[in-house]
Structure 1
Amino acid sequence: MQDLQNQQRPITIHIGDENLNYREVIIHDHTPTGQQIALAAGFKPDDEAIVLMLLPAGLEDVSPNEGVGAVLDGQRFIVASSDRTYNFTVDGVRLPWLRSTITGEIIRKLADVPSDKRLLLEREDEADLEISNGAVVDLDAPGTERFITRPGIWKLNVQGTILDIHFPSISVRDALVLAGLDPNGNWLIFLKVEGQEKRALQMSDVIDLTTPGIEKLRLTPADVSNGESASTPLRQFDILPADASYLDAMGHRWETRFEPITGSEPRRWLVIQDYVLPEGYTSEKVQLALDIPAAYPIAQIDMFYLLPSVALCSGMPIPNVQVTAVIGGQTFQGWSRHRPWNPASDSIATQMSMVDGCLHKEVGK
């Protein structure tokens, strides 16, 4: 009698979509078929739906007429509209998927890869490719994509100290402690990622070390002083509020100046004090100036200018730095660097990103 009552008791299963968002569904058949699971998920009998059942050892593709055996409360299924599955392996275990692409995050969840392990895509003729959570892998390519896991060691350069970190993320505070720096200091903190503008961080922020192109965490004391009382920055013209917010968030000391030109409108200069250069130049800090057209942002910001003039410590020449500009009676070194300009998306922030990239390129960083 007890067994009969158990067989008649409704069962709660969890049905997820391709993003592994699960919801509870009630079924009454304790040994449902794949089609019954699809119907319970809201699909019609003539819909093309793939049903995957999550097992302790991986995933199983359940065909419409195939029974899944005795189902217990809490059993998880993934159901989505698709006409076929795509196979991949993780550490030799075959897993089916119902889309032609899959993210690193989904692979980790399906294969239960712990966060302290690296996920790599095996490649024949080149080094295995590390797959970050946000990376998208094409499963429709010829052959079966094979993933492997390895003990995780992620490197982070913190103010010149290279840390070996065994977890894929770390808080800024913990990174400073590991590097032997005082996390209670008054720091301006920036994260540099290849191909991106440097990003200001707070002590409580968490760094995702699986992000491709992470280069370094750079710190600058926020209260550097030359012993003189701080002067009010010169602001002879206004810049856009978004630009001012960006410069302030990056910790820059900046001012705006008019430079008179005989018989013409004055040039408008944005000057950033104590701009820190990458290692490899004859100066550690410079004044950095941008020529801001009156019609900006419709008109393009072009080139950038440094004071004092800099050279490479290696003695190698820097190309196209012969142009000069006089600002406030001082001669700045002009760097002729040009790029396409889109008024809808470009700004002082994107120009600063170009500046940073050009300066790093010359020293091979």
Structure 2
Amino acid sequence: MTSNENTVALGRGNRTVTVEIARTDLAFHPVEIDTATPTGGKIAKVAGFNSDQHPHVMQWLPDGDLEDIRVQEEADLSKSIKFIVAENSSSHRITINDETLDWPADVISGAVVRKLGKIDPADDIYLERDDEPDLLVRDQDLIKIKAEGVEEFKSRKPDVWKLNVQGKVIVSKSSTISAADAMAEANFDPNAWIMILKVQGQPKRQLQPSDVIDLTTPGIEKIRLTAKDVNNGEAPPAPRRDFALQSVDEQYLDALGFRWETDATGRWLIIHDYPVSPGYTVTKVTLAIQVLPTYPQTQIDMFYVYPALVRRTGGAIPATQTTATIRGLSFQRWSRHRGAGSKWNPKTDNVITHLAIVESAIAKEVGQ
């Protein structure tokens, strides 16, 4: 019920009005009260406080100001029906965009600062500091309010950084970006191009998809792209087939359109441009699976990828820290094994079923 609705209700003879009460989390809930001129003590009582707790009652006005309501002071509900009540006999002074407020707690969250200051969700909030850089305050952060002095919060439009990727300018809200993310923003496949970072006054540097670019670097110019596979029109070389797989395996790989090879050195099945789930810094890898001469009696175990898979969100992927050199390249080993309920059966298991394990293992690590 709004202030106007309360007034109308009283005019019709109703004895109760509705106010909204919250603690310092600003989670307001409606409470009925039997007078249109409640005192601070009355508001504290219906909020569940007793006088021994020395409750601090504030009326939250539409302009964002907080007005103290003393124990015997009557609140004017025509101004606002929202009240904040806290168990604290003293208040802490803060400013939000130069507006001074007395806050009845020694901590305050970024979300509450945003609500009190009516700050746009797209804007950043900073706690101003004298002897060190201002602190970016996220909504979930809790800020300890100092006992003396005033904590000053300011909202700012978020900083953005720009980068030219082969003529297309991308915008980043972060001062760092991975090469893979920059390419994705510009709609380029990072696996299909050689990426060269140009910085004024520095040698050109070739980037890998997982490399992180510092967009604050002075003189940063652009990422220039060169196609990895440019030829004079000759047909690509025939795939290497040092040993045969089971016919069902080969038919499956061909049906999916994979470019695959078998290499007798180490008995590797190599699958080129194997697609991976979204969430990694690359979209495709070279996949290697070891197929021993006694296959299918001997099970296929684990798998290897190049380049190493890295989550865009960061964080180590369990059991992938070991590498193996295959064809002169350092492949990342994914140590994934069948459990007791899915033991290898040479009559039904093959490359196809192992690829299902590969796909699910890669997807699992990015929540797919």
Per the normalisation by structure 2, the TM-score is 0.48
Greater Rg, structure 1 or structure 2?
2
Greater percentage in strand: 1
